[in-house]
Structure 1
């Protein structure tokens, strides 16, 4: 069963037609990359899935359940968690308290502790900085904290919006390694990423959208080898 199915999705912002009949799927255990230029509709797609934007047409099914019209808080409780662009950590709270907030909907506090311990094992830099204010972390550390906080929520499908934005190449590689490890543990990922080369290294499949519509789809290997993708997103060089 697909973790996520989007079928014929339309989204309008006033007179702007942001998504135009968009369809895609994310299988259980898959990493799927969503590529496109700025303004193509990538962030809108994630916002529609997570309940932050109300579509005007189409269907969104998560684990066989229609979630169109569901509240964002209810969608999170189903195991579908969105890490938005820009990290958005709580700057005056400690790293540990940021992680605790990821478990706000989890009643079993022992389970919250277990998940935080897992995050510290996966991201040891956060463990080193557990008492430090989130706003004093580096950009890469803040991104790790945003992902870690989402993991405490307990996602089965993780929506990641531009996790490498503004980060140095070595830090980008570290973030992608973390996403790969999260996926290896069984969490499906829908990854919006401007760095197409990095995204296609860890994705199983991908979609390219332009002007709110899907124009190309295929395995990550096929997209890396596609001359159109290479020209538009890989600096003119396939692979």
Structure 2
């Protein structure tokens, strides 16, 4: 069984100590959520897992790969793919062209075509807009496109950084359902979210990150009932 293991990780930006002995695990098949307020270190964690930020201490491994030293393209080729905060689609390219960009590490053209078809079936709205420029899509559609682009890469572990940011409640529900379906089809998910209520509804387990440390953890259903979590993150 593949497992993501983060143990005692420290990350600095200059003199700023962004992550402090951060530790958590994600087992194959799970949806694990990292909860926390702005500045807690969640996005830094995602960038560290993707090889964009290097830890100064601690260990990070995924299926035998040392993520602390691996190159970003090696990490992607190993099946660990990030959907970044802010979507970062290419606004002047069509929906279909954006999806094709997710195939840059895939050599099998039949596999690429099959994955894009799967994306269109999972998110029919993208199929309807396949010739439309990405920048003309709604916020929810752009988020779907960002997820779809990552799926074309063929992730085994999908990293999602604030996928509900700026979206209306109904669209948030749709995006969370897409994430659940992706997981049910066999992709492990690490989800960073400020919308704790939505995230805890679909997650198996969750960790709370505060000032770069994991300060609480447990099954999502239990954390959703924890008075401290309710007060801090659920508008209790």
- 1:171-218 C-alpha deviation (Å, 9 max, x unpaired): 000000000000000100000001000000000000001110010000
Paired residue secondary structure (1:225): coil
Distance 1:53 1:66 in 2: 14
Q: Does 1:164 align with 2:164?
A: yes
Q: Which residue of 2 aligns with 1:195?
A: 195
What is the CA distance between 1:70 and its match in structure 2? 1.0
Q: Which residue of 2 aligns with 1:102?
A: 102
Question: Within 5 Å, which residues of 2 pair with 1:86-235?
Answer: 86-235=86-235
What is the CA distance between 1:73 and its match in structure 2? 1.1
The runs of at least 4 aligned residues of structure 1 exceeding 2 Å deviation read none
Q: TM-score, normalised by structure 1?
A: 0.98
8 Å CA contact 1:10–1:22 kept in 2: the answer is yes
Q: Does 1:30 align with 2:23?
A: no
Paired residue secondary structure (2:12): strand
Paired residue secondary structure (1:177): helix
Distance 1:92 1:40 in 2: 33
Distance 2:37 2:94 in 1: 35
The unaligned stretches of length 5 or more in structure 2 are none
8 Å CA contact 1:6–1:23 kept in 2: the answer is yes
Paired residue secondary structure (2:24): strand
Distance 1:172 1:88 in 2: 18
Paired residue secondary structure (2:91): coil
What is the CA distance between 1:67 and its match in structure 2? 2.0
- 1:77-96 C-alpha deviation (Å, 9 max, x unpaired): 10000011000000000000
| Count of matched residue positions in the alignment of Structure 1 and Structure 2 | 236
The unaligned stretches of length 5 or more in structure 1 are none
CA RMSD of the aligned region, Å? 0.6
What is the CA distance between 1:136 and its match in structure 2? 0.4
Q: Which residue of 2 aligns with 1:14?
A: 14
8 Å CA contact 1:3–1:188 kept in 2: the answer is no
- 1:20-69 C-alpha deviation (Å, 9 max, x unpaired): 00000001000000000100000001110010101101111101222211
